[in-house]
Structure 1
Amino acid sequence: MPRCRAARAERYRRRMRDPMKVLVVGGGPAGMSAALHACELGAQVTLLEADQVGGTSLNRGPAPVRTLARAARLARDWGSWTRFGLEGAPPVPNLAALQGNAARVARYAHERKHLAEHLRASGIDLVEGTGVVRFADDHAIQADDGHVWTADRVIIAVGGRAAALPVPGGELASTYDDLLTLKALPEHAVIIGGADTGCQIASILGDFGIRVTVFEATPALLASADPDVSAGMRSAFEARGLTIHTGTLVERLEKHASRITVTYRGPNGSDRVIGDAVFAAIGWPANIETLGLERAGVAAGRGGLVVDEYLRTNVEHIFAAGDVTGHYKLVQTARSEGRIAGRNAVLGPVQRADYEIIPTGSFTDPEYGQVGLTEPAAALNGEVVSAVARYDDLVRPVVDGRPDGFCKLLVDRSHRSVVGAHVLGEYSAEIVQVAAAMMAAGMTIEQIAGLSYAFPTVTEAIGMAAQNICRQLDLGGFPQVWSELDVSQEKTARLP
């Protein structure tokens, strides 16, 4: 047996005789992933959860709220019935029933998938309902009732929360979570903050026929998105009657009877608007204030805990994963970081966290998805070739009655590799996931252009954009397709 393999086998046998103790704090996607992976590697794992495993993503956030988004999308689709020859009265939202269905989805992982039972059956000592816990020292975590857990390694995965609005009257603002506890749908909702969360709240309420005003401090509605996607989203919102203010700061909130006055300052000076409900979506800080980090000597930075490429904090045996690291506050990133933290906690620093290819999707209306670099960011790294395939040049979106949207690919000219993909329109997340798989496989743009794509699908947009880029680079002899022969003024004026 080779020496390195024998050494690994001996370490495994030693762990089985005297398993390493790993303590995971936080039972969301990152914590569950870390606990399961550490357990598979032979560690004795204890998982502490303040409330119920599943975290925000299953219990309060993406899963149940996106169920509301689905209902809102169905309400929106009523507007296209007549186009398909359908007749009938518009659906009327029943808020209690909408929230009940969202709660059903939140319970699904617990009642149908037996999430807690699965963790325990895997050999994990799961402790739910601990309440607030904090470090007693660098190897021990203590609950308010005095219970103490000790371990050789600690993984912090306590997640984050919606940021409070730091202006006078900020406590009057609701958050993303409060969509599930509304007593009535407002007539006019004010959303403070654009980006993913703010735009999703705006989309849900807008599709339910509510008047919506959005305030975003940065010049772009979606500051982290590709400029074409951000501009397209704003145009789509405004076409639906939503009011968008960018480059605008909210200065204070004031309660007047049952309504809230929002005073703001924008490019044209100060003004105010009155809403029935105000939602703040301005950030997602890490839940680290009550952890007693100073007792363990763990350092925190502005975005969360300071970690290295192996997800170790400055204390060598304490790791962190998920929103608490401040890297990418996404479920998919949390799961990946959890696996890596669990592995490195047991085996030592053997795997680095990789953030190069992270596909993301939003349940906004219209949807948007992205992976890799935006066009401005890609241009800083070298010469980039881009192309756009428009939805109304594809059969499937036209068949579905949703022809507004596009797929944009960015390719490094010298390596002919895709460095970014950005989609606005129906099925964006699925299209971006396909692009992400192509990027991870290292496919060249001519290989992507040469693939056969199922017809009629929206994913054909990837092939169409890829062929466009190949023509620009004089690769493969891909001819123009019928949809690109229309150069009318109406066509060339479309976004992006």
Structure 2
Amino acid sequence: MPSKVLLASASLYRKLGRAHNFGLIADDVGVNFSDLIDRKDLIVEQISGPNLRAYLESQGMEIIEGRASFASEREISVDGRRLSFNKALVATGSRPLVPPIDGLDISGYITSREAIDKRRLPRSVIVMGGSSVALEFTAVYRSFGSSVTIVEAAPRIAFREDAQVSEELARRLAEQGVTIYTNATVRRAAPAGPEKSVIVETSEGEITLQAEELFVATGRRPNVEGLGLEEIGVDFGAKGIKVDPFLRTSARNVYAAGDVIPTLQLAQVGAYEGYVVGANAVSGDTMRTDYRVMPRVTWSYPEMASVGLTEEEATRQGIPHVVGSFPLAPLARAFAESEQSGFVKALVDLRNHEVIGFHAIGERSDEMVHEGLLAMHGRIKLHELAQAVFAEITMSEAVGNLFIELDATLERARRAA
């Protein structure tokens, strides 16, 4: 949540920089990064501070602050105080994973944990990693004028997303002046005067990069240490606590959810898993987890969102499918917003004519993805989706046009068969 406040400010700053496109004059627009952090702190406090605590307590919940660990299969110790339980949930989250790179501790670095509190904007940043956290902070830093270089070990940034979406994002970032190295690994780091220096191994040999700040976003590690899991026989490993489809651990009266288990580390996933645990703890383990329709959003610039299978995954699984995309460029709303880059894309199973994957990149992608989500969740046939009427002068018109074009493609394929 805190990073999204920074991203909202970055989005407004970008728009003000293009004020002339809207017939507006916005001269001498600047940024006070310290004030931006103050705003973030205020909003976080409003959402998760005393108001949230008061609400939870009004619902009959008791909140005990302290360090907890399992004392036995039916007891938890909180700073020496013993609490008995019938069912327990482990939801201790995760923390940034920092790889063991020679010289990294000496040179100094930041992760997302420190970045959300830094009150000074760095002039230049090397970002280690190319997934959502790395890309969102790239959007923050580049929007406010920092020079940004991304070093990603995978063949492409946003490597878990559809390749077409990933390639479009890389193209747009390059247009913004972001330098991207893929198939590249940081081998060594060292201080270089007021800056930090890293040796990067690329497919073409070693190169040296320098920047004022080194931002490490190479993944997250589940918080499983010091919980006493071994004492009660809970099975866990480097990727987190092992659970069954009901989110039960190997100790059957103990559940686990969120970043501490090896599922997608997303807020909506954790919220969903919390709901599943609540239902099972009360009703007797009747609800299985189903991650088939789980949305993913990255608030990069441009933002991207997806649900379901990528084109590569569908092909790898041998699912016969048809794929289509529709650009945002011709939309009246895209002209009005001066945001014409990007597209929406969908995959449809040829066997049952249901959407099995939906992807979007560009303005309002974080909202449009839910139209694909509902189509998948309701298992709505493509022909029915194509008959839905979408409001004019919206970005979602692209989704309606996409369904119409895909339906026509399926009809042509049927006639040709």
Q: Distance in 1 between matches of 2:97 and 2:201?
A: 21
Report the equivalent of 2:240: 304
Report the equivalent of 2:207: 271
Report the equivalent of 2:17: 79
Post-superposition shift, 1:453?
Answer: 0.3
Please show how residues 97-112 of structure 1 align to structure 2 within 5 Å: 97-110=35-48
Q: Is the 8 A contact 2:37 2:119 kept in 1?
A: no
Report the equivalent of 2:157: 221
Report the equivalent of 1:140: 75
Q: What does the per-residue CA deviation read over 1:33-73, in whole Å, with 9 as the maximum and x for residues that have no partner?
A: xxxxxxxxxxxxxxxxxxxxxxxxxxxxxx22111111111
Secondary structure in structure 1 of the residue aligned to 2:314: helix
Report the equivalent of 1:204: 140
Report the equivalent of 2:186: 250
Report the equivalent of 2:101: 167
Q: Is 1:96 paired with 2:30?
A: no
Q: Is 1:424 paired with 2:361?
A: yes
Q: Distance in 2 between matches of 1:355 and 1:236?
A: 30
Q: Is 1:186 paired with 2:122?
A: yes
Q: Is the 8 A contact 1:78 1:90 kept in 2?
A: no
Q: Is the 8 A contact 1:370 1:421 kept in 2?
A: yes
Post-superposition shift, 1:312?
Answer: 0.5
Post-superposition shift, 1:476?
Answer: 12
Post-superposition shift, 1:154?
Answer: 1.2
Q: What does the per-residue CA deviation read over 1:351-392, in whole Å, with 9 as the maximum and x for residues that have no partner?
A: 001100011212111000000000011122411111111011
Q: Is the 8 A contact 2:17 2:26 kept in 1?
A: no
Q: Is the 8 A contact 1:215 1:250 kept in 2?
A: yes
Post-superposition shift, 1:76?
Answer: 1.1
Report sequence identity in percent.
Answer: 28
Q: Is 1:149 paired with 2:83?
A: yes
Q: Is the 8 A contact 1:135 1:296 kept in 2?
A: yes
Which of the residues 155, 158, 162 maps onto 2:92?
A: 158
Q: What does the per-residue CA deviation read over 1:134-193, in whole Å, with 9 as the maximum and x for residues that have no partner?
A: 2212222223x3112121111111111111232123332201122222142111101000
Q: What does the per-residue CA deviation read over 1:238-262, in whole Å, with 9 as the maximum and x for residues that have no partner?
A: 0000000011001121123321111
Please show how residues 398-413 of structure 1 align to structure 2 within 5 Å: 398-413=335-350
Q: Distance in 2 between matches of 1:67 and 1:183?
A: 14
Please show how residues 334-353 of structure 1 align to structure 2 within 5 Å: 334-353=270-289
Q: Distance in 2 between matches of 1:441 and 1:393?
A: 29
Which of the residues 46, 64, 69 maps onto 2:2?
A: 64
Q: Distance in 1 between matches of 2:114 and 2:173?
A: 22
Q: Distance in 1 between matches of 2:304 and 2:350?
A: 25
Q: What does the per-residue CA deviation read over 1:98-153, in whole Å, with 9 as the maximum and x for residues that have no partner?
A: 00111111011245x8111111111111112x0x322212222223x311212111
Q: Distance in 1 between matches of 2:254 and 2:26?
A: 60
Secondary structure in structure 1 of the residue aligned to 2:264: coil
Q: What does the per-residue CA deviation read over 1:433-472, in whole Å, with 9 as the maximum and x for residues that have no partner?
A: 1210121111111111111001111111111111111111
Q: Distance in 2 between matches of 1:306 and 1:251?
A: 32
Secondary structure in structure 2 of the residue aligned to 1:409: strand
Runs (5+) with no aligned partner, structure 2: none
Secondary structure in structure 1 of the residue aligned to 2:371: helix
Which of the residues 347, 354, 357 maps onto 2:290?
A: 354
Q: Distance in 2 between matches of 1:290 and 1:170?
A: 26
Secondary structure in structure 1 of the residue aligned to 2:183: coil
Post-superposition shift, 1:311?
Answer: 0.3
Secondary structure in structure 1 of the residue aligned to 2:357: strand
Q: Distance in 2 between matches of 1:206 and 1:163?
A: 23
Distance 1:348 1:367, change over 3 A: same
Secondary structure in structure 1 of the residue aligned to 2:116: helix
The residue type equivalent to 2:85 in the other structure is A
Which of the residues 105, 127, 131 maps onto 1:195?
A: 131
Q: Distance in 2 between matches of 1:110 and 1:77?
A: 29
Q: Is the 8 A contact 1:164 1:170 kept in 2?
A: no
Q: What does the per-residue CA deviation read over 1:193-231, in whole Å, with 9 as the maximum and x for residues that have no partner?
A: 011110111111000011000011000101100001100
Secondary structure in structure 1 of the residue aligned to 2:384: helix
Q: Distance in 1 between matches of 2:47 and 2:137?
A: 24
Q: Structure 1-normalised TM-score?
A: 0.81
Q: Distance in 1 between matches of 2:11 and 2:318?
A: 38
Runs of 4 or more consecutive aligned structure 1 residues displaced over 4 Å after TM superposition: none
Report the equivalent of 1:441: 378
Q: Distance in 2 between matches of 1:412 and 1:270?
A: 44
Q: Is 1:473 paired with 2:410?
A: yes
Structure number with larger C-alpha Rg: 1
Secondary structure in structure 1 of the residue aligned to 2:402: helix
Distance 1:475 1:117, change over 3 A: farther
Q: Is the 8 A contact 1:165 1:173 kept in 2?
A: no
Post-superposition shift, 1:87?
Answer: 2.2
Please show how residues 312-351 of structure 1 align to structure 2 within 5 Å: 312-351=248-287
Runs (5+) with no aligned partner, structure 1: 1-62, 478-496
Q: Distance in 1 between matches of 2:342 and 2:185?
A: 30
Cα root mean square deviation, aligned: 1.6
